[in-house]
Amino acid sequence: MNRPDATVRYEVDGALARITLDRPAASNAIDLPTAEALAASVARAADDEAVRAVLLTGAGRRFCAGGDLAAMAAAPDRGTYVHTLASTLDRALRALADLPKPVVVAVQGAAAGAGLAAVLSADVAVATRSATFAAAYTAVGLTPDCGFSRLLPRAVGQPRALYLTLTGRRLTATEALEWGVVAEVVEDDELTTRVEALATDLAAGPVQALGEAKRLLRASWHRSPQEVADDEARTIAGLVTGPEASGRIDAFLSR
């Protein structure tokens, strides 16, 4: 059950878990309780064997405006608060990226700073045509956190990552699609229908194969070609005799 004052809602419908950032009045800006609640929600999805896919959304007009600057300013010890917030949110987003289940994120309005990091931590991002994306950190005299400086270059390349971070330039949804930040752009009134269908389809898929494929792709960044090849061979050999692959291979051959 979600508390009435919860800033992150966690709901399960069949094999699909929905995680919703629920601070619409604050553009879903992330304060420490929200970061902690997000980490707890991701952990719940990881621990629930019935959950086979996750859909991450933001309530209201904007997906996520990033870290909560008002909470930072109000903290008695700003440095300690921001360090704890950044560390907690990093843990939540790394857990989301490492989740052995597909993660779809729906983006409307703005995704800025840590909100953009959350988008990049998901596996498949779908945005409305009116959505915008920005680093936003340097505009308020701050630097990237929660894995942003690792995630953004991997998505768009180092030159573009530096450009976006240093200039603070906002990307349109079309640009975000062209640059590799999102996988799909839909009309504003089609977002919910599209992400629900996509997440439901993934939840009905071969969860072990999807989870291992996700792991292989994400791990490849920091491995040698031989390490990648060895892991790929070991993983596919382990799956080919399992019930998930055996049933699907038999069905394919009997067409």
Could you give the angle at the alpha carbon of 39 between the alpha carbons of 3 and 201, nearest 5°?
90
The amino acid at residue 244 is: E
Sign of CA dihedral 12, 200, 215, 134: negative
Q: What is the average pLDDT across 203-207?
A: 95
pTM (2 d.p.): 0.94
Residue pair 153/131 in contact (Cβ under 8 Å)? The answer is no
CA dihedral 194, 199, 202, 208 (to 10 degrees): 160
Domain boundaries, the chain: 8-203, 207-253
Does residue 96 surpass a pLDDT of 60? yes
pLDDT tens-digit series, residues 45-61:
999 999 999 999 999 99
pLDDT of residue 251: 84
Please give the backbone phi and psi of residue 187, each rounded to the nearest 5 degrees, phi first.
-65, 150
pLDDT tens-digit series, residues 10-35:
999 999 999 999 999 999 999 999 99
Superfamily of domain 8-203: 2-enoyl-CoA Hydratase; Chain A, domain 1 (3.90.226.10)
Reported as type and span, the H/E element at residue 49 is none
* 26: DSSP letter: G
pLDDT of residue 255: 81
Q: How many angstroms separate the CA atoms of 216 and 127, rounded?
A: 25
pLDDT tens-digit series, residues 215-234:
999 999 889 999 999 999 99
Q: Number of helices (H) and strands (E) in the chain: give both, helices first.
A: 11, 9
The mean pLDDT value of the chain amounts to: 96
Does residue 157 surpass a pLDDT of 80? yes
Q: How many angstroms separate the CA atoms of 64 and 46, rounded?
A: 23
